[in-house]
Amino acid sequence: MTPSQSREAQPPASRIIAKALRSAIESGELRAGAKLPSERALAEQYGTARNTAREAVRLLSEQGLVKAEQGRGVFVREPQRLFRFGSDRYSLKNRESGLTPFRLEAKKQGKTPRIDVVSIANEEPPDDVAERLGVPADTASVVHRENHYYADEEPVQIVSTYLKWSEAEGTLLTQPKSGPNGIYGRLEDLGHVMTTIRDEITARMPSPHEATVLRLPPGVPVLEVLHTSFDQAGEAFEVSRYVHRADVTGLKYDLPVQ
């Protein structure tokens, strides 16, 4: 191999720095919560330009290993994930706690939850929602509730809930505060007792809106859960689209084998 070929085989300096920092994180030398050296310090340590050091940190951010905090620096990300419990999150015993599924999940994992009701609107549903609810896609046949969810002030998921407008109109289902036991309490008032759920799970890249709301670093995907609730008559009465940050959340299901 000629000297020129050897130089061509050498990875970019930014990747060399990123690999060294990743090794330090994985070995525990740089622990969760530790602050990374500044771009200037990294550039001096590796004999590169600051732009090269900045690119190395960006690569680590894309891998979900570090996060930048405005005015403070870049820190090693906590490896713990906030899990969505799929199998029992709607159970009666959990509802008796008086907490919504997300608040209960966050509490169990030592996180402080916050839910922002962003919008409630009567609108045309997306095609996949219309198909599952059995409503027209070309008329304003649903009420769409969009909520943003936070754990320890970090955005972790966007939830878009769709209900039949013919049932929701004029009820607390169109209000930010829907009363005791949340929307499921009001849906039970309408005769819909949840007996079966279907969760359709996919992984994909985020839309620009999702990336902004969830403060996603470049390259980080989302997990989408398209949830459908069925009542005692087998009728679909609610569809919710959960969009989770894949780098800080996960899904957990314990299901009987029948």
Of 8-17, 83-92, 153-162, 211-220, the range with the lowest mean pLDDT is 83-92
- Of 99-113, 136-150, 213-227, highest mean pLDDT: 136-150
Helices 50-62 and 39-46 sit at what angle, rounded to 10 degrees?
A: 110
| Mean pLDDT taken over the chain | 88
Check pLDDT > 80 for residue 222: yes
Could you give the CA distance from residue 100 to residue 231 in angstroms, rounded to a whole number?
A: 19
pTM of the model: 0.74
Q: What DSSP string runs through the chain?
A: --HHHHHHHSPPHHHHHHHHHHHHHHHTSS-TTPBPPPHHHHHHHHT--HHHHHHHHHHHHHTTSEEEETTTEEEEPP---EEEETTTTT-HHHHTTTS-HHHHHHHHTT--EEEEEEEEEEEPPPHHHHHHHT--SSS--EEEEEEEEEETTEEEEEEEEEEEHHHHTTSGGGSS---TTHHHHHHHHTT----EEEEEEEEEPPPHHHHHHTTPPTT--EEEEEEEEE-TTS-EEEEEEEEEETTTEEEE------
- From the list 132, 145, 140, 78, the residue with the least C-alpha distance to 109 is 78
Mean pLDDT across the stretch 18-44?
90
| pLDDT band (50, 70, 90) for residue 107 | confident
Check pLDDT > 60 for residue 44: yes
Which is higher by pLDDT, 3 or 140? 140
Look up tokens 């607390």; give the residue.
Answer: 172
| Distance spanning both ends of the chain, measured CA to CA | 61
Which is higher by pLDDT, 179 or 131? 131
Check pLDDT > 80 for residue 204: yes
Of 62-71, 162-171, 193-202, the range with the lowest mean pLDDT is 62-71
Of 26-40, 95-109, 155-169, 237-251, the range with the lowest mean pLDDT is 95-109
Could you give the CA distance from residue 10 to residue 31 in angstroms, rounded to a whole number?
A: 29
Which is higher by pLDDT, 3 or 238? 238
Which pLDDT value is given to residue 202? 96
Could you give the CA distance from residue 157 to residue 104 in angstroms, rounded to a whole number?
A: 15
65-105: pLDDT as tens digits: 888 888 899 998 876 667 777 667 766 666 666 667 788 88
User: In the chain, what percentage of residues exceed pLDDT 90?
Assistant: 57
Which pLDDT value is given to residue 87? 64
